[in-house]
Structures are given as C-alpha cells and as structure tokens.
Amino acid sequence: MKMNPWRVTLRVIAILLILVILIGPLVGVVLWSFAERWYWPSPIPQDFGLRFWKQVFSQGRVLDSILLSLTIAIITVGFSLALAIPAAYGFARYRIPLERILLVLFLMPQAFPQLPIFINLASTFSKIGLGGNMWGIILAHTMASLVFSVWIVTATFKAIPVELEQVARNLGASRFRTFLTITLPLAVPGLIASSIFVFLWSMGEFTAAFFIGAPFIQTATVLMYTASMGYNLQIASAIAILLIIPSIIFMVIIERYLKAEYIAGLGG
C-alpha cells in the first residue's frame, strides 16, 4: 500500500520536532560543558576543550556535593520505603475508611507549589535544629516523595493475588511470615520502581536543598544553581551531566522492572 507522501513528510517533521524538544536541551548542556569559547550568533562553540571538566574534578567541593546528593537520595529511598511499605499494604489489603482521601493526601506536597511549602518547612526546621543540615533535607525529601512510594507500592500490592497469601495462611504460616516469604518477594519489582522514582526526584530536587540546607549544606543541584547564576555555564553543565548519568542508569532499570501490572491498580 502506497503511503501519501504528504503524510510521510508530516510524520517525519513531527518526529524531528519531538526529538528537538526532548533532546535539544540535553545537546545544549553537553555543548556548554565542552565549550571554552562560545559567542553569539555562532550555533556551536568556537573552541572546545576539557578545561572546565578538569576544574570540576579538581575542585573537591563539586565531587563532595555530588556524593552528598547521592547520600541524601539513598537515605531518602530507605526512609520512604520504610514508611510506604506498611502504609501501602494496609491500603491494598484492608478496607480503610476514607481510603481515597488518605491517598490523595499523599499527593498534597506535590500538588501545591513547593516553594512556599519548603520555605515554611525551613522556618520550622530551623527552630528544632534541622535547618542547615543533611537530615533536614532528608526529612523534607521523604515527606515530598511519599506520593511516589505510597502510590506505586499500593498498586504493586493490589496486583498480587490475595489468594496466594490465603493459601500460605491455611498451611499454617503466620501473617508476618506470609508477608516476608510470599508478598514481599513478589513486590520487589514494584519496590524497585518506587525506589528509582524517589531516588531520581531526590537527586534532582533543588528547592528544599536550597532553603533547608542553607547556608551549610550544598548539594549538587544547589552548586549547579550557584554556578549558573555566576554565569559559569560550563561548570553548571558539567555538574548537570554528572547528575544525568545515574538518571539514565535508573531509567534503564525502570524500563525493565516497571510493568503495566504494577501501575494498573493506581487509584483502584
């Protein structure tokens, strides 16, 4: 069947436009990280080099900030799962009054503009000794990331047939043993997916890290912001690429583990 050439042309244009929108900003970041001289109106840098990459790796504060961001993200994942697993299991297996309203409440930190939320949190945390330290940022990230962990893990538990647990209970296993040996292993892909979303969000989060961590804590996103505000776009772009690397790795893992059955129960 011969296709209409106009339709083919429009399809190609649409694909190219989507690629420009999706990949264009990333290409700009990569170009800036290697640009030693780039003046308007040239579409590409006049000089390329590794001078700014050498600065990134020679400056201890850059690597320290990236390590700090990784530490915060990993601990946030642990706290988030520790809270989400029992809550999600309760939502999935028991009839809880006002269940939908409670699930919607977990969306609240993401539903409203985060700037006033984190500014108020920063004021509160400073009064109780959590301002200007890593644990204040971790607590804020945990509170805000529960929307990812609770909703995804709830959908995962709902996708696991309850009959499997009933068989184990009928064979004499306790409720806790059934959960550890039957339910939790089957939920691992959903837990991994939830962990990835929380990790990526925490790694890229700026507002809480800026307002709660200031002036003593400087994550990679905060350092990237201060570099860009100082018009040092090369350093900011290099830091951005270093932050993108774990994101790409974890997105590959998402593609493998986040299947349709784990999100089919969302809101169900």
Which tens digits make up the pLDDT trace of 195-253? 888 998 898 888 888 889 877 888 888 888 888 777 688 888 888 888 888 777 777 76
Contact 183, 145 (CB under 8 A): no
pTM, two decimal places: 0.78
- Rounded CA-CA distance 98/117 in Å is 25
CA dist., res. 124 & res. 118, Å (int): 10
For residue range 41-90, list pLDDT tens digits in order: 887 888 888 888 888 887 777 888 888 998 999 999 999 999 999 988 88
**SS3 (DSSP) at 48:** strand
Residue-wise pLDDT tens digits, 178-211: 888 888 888 888 888 888 889 988 988 888 888 8
How far apart, in whole angstroms, are the C-alpha atoms of residue 39 and residue 59?
26
Which positions ≥6 away from 171 have C-beta within 8 Å?
Answer: none
Domain ranges of the chain: 1-49, 50-262
Domain 50-262 CATH (choose: 1.10.3720.10, 1.10.150.120, 1.20.1250.20, 3.40.50.720): 1.10.3720.10
Q: What pLDDT is attached to residue 105?
A: 67
The length of the chain in residues reads 268
**Interval 131-147: pLDDT, tens:** 888 999 999 999 888 88
Cα–Cα distance measured from residue 76 to residue 140, given in angstroms and rounded to the nearest whole number: 9
Q: Per-residue pLDDT for 109 more than 70?
A: no
